[in-house]
Chain A
Amino acid sequence: MAVAVCICLPRLSLIGFPFFLTMATVAIYSLFIINKSGGLIHYKDYGSAGRMDTNDSLRLASLWHSMHAISQQLSPTPGCNGIDLLQAHNFDLHCFQSLTGTKFFVVCETGAPNMEFLLRTIYQLYTEFALKNPFYEMEMPIRCELFDFNLAQVIQKDRVALLGR
C-alpha cells in the first residue's frame, strides 16, 4: 500500500514538494528511523526537554523494535502488523512500518493530527534521497545531505507555522 502511493504520485522535483504546504502544524519532539533488524539508522531531536545521548537512543530504538514484534504475538485476532500509535500522558508516538520492515516513528504532542501523513512523507524522502543514492549502504546510518536538507524543510515548515521559532 505504501509502495502504491509512491508510484501514483507524479514525478517530483528534488526541492520543494508542493504538498508540504498542507502539512499539519504541530510540534514534533523527535524522529527515529530503524532498519529491519532493529538498528537505529537515523535519529533527530527537535526539542525534547531532556538530553539523550547516543547510547540511549540506540537502546530505545532496539527496545521499540522488540516491543513492536511482541505486540504482534499478543494479538487476539489474526493479521496484526504491530503498534501504530502509542498514547501516553505527555506525548503520542506514531509508528509507520514499510513493507520491507523499516520503521519510522515520531514522538509528538498528544492529539497531534496528520502524523501518519508526515510519516509517509518521510518514507518518500527516504526512498528518494537515501535508497536511490548509489553510495548509501543498506541498513547503515543515513549520511545523505539531500535527505537531511529536505527532512529539515518538512519539519521546519510545521514548527515555523505553529511555534514561530
Chain B
Amino acid sequence: MQFFSGSSLTSVAPDSSPAPAAPPGTGTGANAQLIYIFNRNGVCLLYREWHRPLRTLARNQDQKLMFGLLFSLRSFTAKIDPTSTENGNLGAPLLPGQGCSFHSFKTNTYKLNYMESPSGIKLILLTHPRTGDQRDALKHIYSLYVEYVVKNPLYAPGSPIKCELFNKHLDQYVKTLI
C-alpha cells in the first residue's frame, strides 16, 4: 500500500509524462550520484554512477554490501516501528509490502533514497545530502524501468539490464534532478 499511495503511476509514453519537479537546487547540477537496482534475489540489475569520488570496495562487494544493508535495515525498521502492535521476529524474512519500510536515510556526505516495488524490485538512488524527498523521482524511474526494460521482449527477467533506451532516458531524467 505504501507503493501505490501518493501520485498515481500512469504508464509513461516516451515523451509525454511530466517528470516530477526537481528538488530545490544545490546548484551544481551533479545532484544524483549513483543508482542501484536490485531484484528480490539480490541480483544487481543495474549499477550506474554519475559522480563518485571515492570507491572503497570492489564493484561486486559494494553491491552485495548495499543489498545486505538494505535487507537488514528493512528488518530493523519493521521491528522498531512504534505504531504497530505486532512486530515479527527480527530474523524472519519480510515480503515486499510487509512491515514499516524506510524511504530514505541521510548522512553528512550522502542521502540514500530507497523504494521497493510490490514485485521486490529495489531502487536505490544516492544523492547530495540536502536533497528533498525523492519518492516521486523513484516512482518515475520505476515507470521508466517498466516501459523500457520489462516491456522489452529481449530482456530476460533477473539478468542485468543492458537496454540502451533505458540508460539514455534514465541519464536524461537524472540530469533534470538538479
Cβ-based interface call for B100 (8 A): yes
> Is the CB–CB distance between A90 and B107 below 8 Å?
no
A65-B75 Cα distance, complex, nearest whole Å: 14
In the bound complex, residues from chain A placing their C-beta under 8 Å from that of B72 are 63, 66-67
Known: A50-B82, A87-B102. A76 touches B107 (CB 8 A): no
In the bound complex, residues from chain A placing their C-beta under 8 Å from that of B108 are 79-81, 84
> Is the CB–CB distance between A90 and B54 below 8 Å?
no
A-B pair count, CB < 8 Å, reads: 126
From A71, which residue of chain B is reached at the shortest CB distance?
B107
> Is the CB–CB distance between A77 and B106 below 8 Å?
no
> Is the CB–CB distance between B107 and A81 below 8 Å?
yes
Q: Which of A47, A49, A72, A93 contacts B107 (CB 8 A)?
A: A72
In the bound complex, residues from chain A placing their C-beta under 8 Å from that of B79 are 56, 60
> Is the CB–CB distance between B101 and A88 below 8 Å?
yes
Cβ-based interface call for B51 (8 A): yes
CB distance from A158 to the nearest CB of B (A): 15
Cβ-based interface call for B34 (8 A): yes
Cβ-based interface call for A143 (8 A): no
Q: Which of A73, A84, A86 contacts B56 (CB 8 A)?
A: A73
From A46, which residue of chain B is reached at the shortest CB distance?
B82
Cβ-based interface call for A98 (8 A): no
> Is the CB–CB distance between A77 and B90 below 8 Å?
no
From A59, which residue of chain B is reached at the shortest CB distance?
B90
Q: Which of B49, B54, B80 contacts A75 (CB 8 A)?
A: B54
- Closest A-B pairs by Cβ, 3 of them: A29-B82, A48-B82, A88-B102
